[in-house]
Amino acid sequence: MNDNEFLEMLAKSNDCPADLVRMAETAWQKQVAVEVVLMYKRIDKNSYKLDVMYRILWSVFGLTAIATVIQLINSIILPLL
């Protein structure tokens, strides 16, 4: 397999990144496959960080909404008592 075929296979591939390393024949193809594996690891790490940030954001939003509702209830009910 030449380099162009490898790049086409890489573009169309839904395989595991480790499979790309095994399919690589030349040194250049192996370097590309290793970079793809590293890229997948970075994306996984970033997606985890984004999930954590997403949860923190929704927690802050939820707590703010709850605090606002409590303040509104206190400002409406307390004057009536």
Question: Does position 11 have pLDDT exceeding 80, yes or no?
Answer: no
Per-residue pLDDT averaged across 48-70, rounded?
94
* CA-wise closest residue to 24 among 6, 47, 50, 42: 6
Residue pLDDT, tens place only, 20-50: 777 788 888 888 888 887 887 788 788 888 8
Per-residue pLDDT averaged across 8-15, rounded?
67
Distance CA 75, CA 55 (A): 30
